[in-house]
Chain A
Amino acid sequence: MISLLNNSLTYQKSGENCDMDRQTFAFFGGIYNNYLALAAAIDDANSRGAEKLFCLGDLGAFGPYPDRVFPLLIENDVQTVQGNYDHSIGNGLNDCQCGYTDPRDNHFAQISYDYTLANSSTSNCEWLKQLPTEIRFEVAGLRFLLCHGSPRKTNEFLWESTTSTHFLNRLTDEYQADVILGTHTGLHWSRELSEDRLFVNVGVLGRPANDGQTNVWYTMIEVIQSPGKSQVKLEFIPVEYDWERLVAEMHSEELPVEFQETIRTGWWTTCLEVLPGKERLRGRY
């Protein structure tokens, strides 16, 4: 059973489940070179008892020093899905395949892509190239499917306001999953589906959620198994990190002031054209 409470889907205790087995997982999305936020999120997830850490891709973009992300993922055994950015960097393509339509958005996307490609080591590019495009596992009879954009296309945007519930039901049917987790849009959200199934956009660590706050977000899921049933507790976790240091490093790497402003203010300044109306209205620009 799942139920929604503020930013979390919360398990409702019945008082009868004394023989319960709990497993906790942390899911990170869109790192965008923000190694400082990634390090903070890993520490936070470990402190909350996460047994396994996952990353749903797009390690590069806006931020500085792309190579600083990789040791954190590898040393902490973070199982990682390949995002469109990772596919592009790993294969040395000309752009990030982000799907922007506006010339201004493409201009800024190209700056961060060219910077990331030029500053990624050969061995890290090789590591990106071999990443899987999805990860599946089963816990307590629940089939988890981890992808980047959608199960059917790495760079498909699944926004909260432009994705119908019956479409998500179809995806869970077609891809035989009970819980689908993705990222790619940069905004965290979840939807309860039929037959107690669930879709989750885990959010991103790379930049704030266009809400005027400097923190970033990741997702924790606790699977609770008791005799005869499995339950999911979902929580979106805000992460505070040293964003002032990040901005200083972006400045010293001569990355655009527009990117720095987003980190500093929490409002998106670029890549706005792909936002649906409802999500766009929540932001400043």
Chain B
Amino acid sequence: MAGPTVEAMAAAARNKTGRPVVAVTGIGIVTSLGVGKSDNWAKLTGGVSGIRRISRFPTDGLRTTIAGAVDEVYRDDTSPAQRSERIAVLAGEEAIAEAGIGGKGRFPGPLCLAPAVLEVEWPERIKMAAMAAANGEAGYPDLLRVASDFAKIHGPFKFGIIGENLADHFGTVGSPISLNTACASGASAIQLGMEAIRRGECDAALAIGADGSLTAESLIRFSLLSALSTQNDPPQQASKPFSKNRDGFVLGEGAAAVVLEELNHARARGARVLGILEGHGEKSDSFHRTRSSPDGKPIIACMRNALADAGVSPEDVDYINAHGTSTPENDKMEYLGVAAVFGERIRDIPISSNKSMIGHALTAAGAIEAAFTLLTLAHQRIPPTINYSVPDPAIPLDVVPNVARDARVRRAISNSFGFGGQNVCLVMAREPA
């Protein structure tokens, strides 16, 4: 509720539209490639795939048997909520340590979180059914009868539980915001933090996307929507964005955290500025629940909104971090969108998809890909789109095929297009404009 102090407003570095500039001073990443951003960056630019055969649950009878699961940091019997929280903590701790901000357990700003979509899962239902009727059939009324006793042992289910636990762990300020905009969630979390800093509500914000929700049912649900690749063998070659033989996305897990900070605040305390979040854009689509408008208008408007918010033109963009899911539909539509926004120049702008290596980490994807885009700017090196051996002639793009490339990248845009028509684009730069 409190407005910015006069001193804070006077001290804020302004961009040309007169708003505070949002810098990134910490980054943390966990994916199927590994834990920590240096390991992730080495593998991502080495063209390594994190997609493997699923070991967490039986895959008998399933059309898709592969995923980019994060297996090394948690046991198989953990719940999606526990897994998502665990990787959010790992990513958040890495980002905060790098930023060197606040004290232990005292982050001086709000938490903006894109957690996995949670619900009561089969292991919990099965345990409750066993408690309710050891030798008989248990219906939902029976599950409710024992739910309270079950929760005393296993902990209760809450939609807000990850955000509340993280707020306790990191000591963030105020009510933690947990949000969901489907596959754009991670980008939305960053956007909320940017807005809070621009409004002068805080000097810093912690934005995290975390998704450890791979279960048999989550896989089957996407499978029944015909959204997943079924080219299971070899797993590493299933995700092939922009290729002619692409046949769906591969589910991934992972988390990324970024510490956002008002630029002068970061400079005043001597923090290293890793990149600048220059602009964000949103535009919803009212065409279909899972498909984007065939004219591409919403995603075109989304990119243009982000560029306009950043105060830059398409000519100023050196790299596009694609949504690039590897579904026939997305990649075609994304080409249509970037071709409209960038015009003839699109053939010369490198555009690559991190999902070719880590799969689609759903609610975390937008945050992970923003983090990788910031690393692309910092290292002046573009991660490749791997598995690109059969180009799609309908998608004539420079996808940075198979091998990373050193390049001058001053500014990049990262796209996130979600189920339900929720689209978010972020514009990032290496240096303040």
Do A and B share a complex? Answer: no
Please list the residues of chain A having a beta carbon within 8 angstroms of any beta carbon in chain B. none
Please list the residues of chain B having a beta carbon within 8 angstroms of any beta carbon in chain A. none
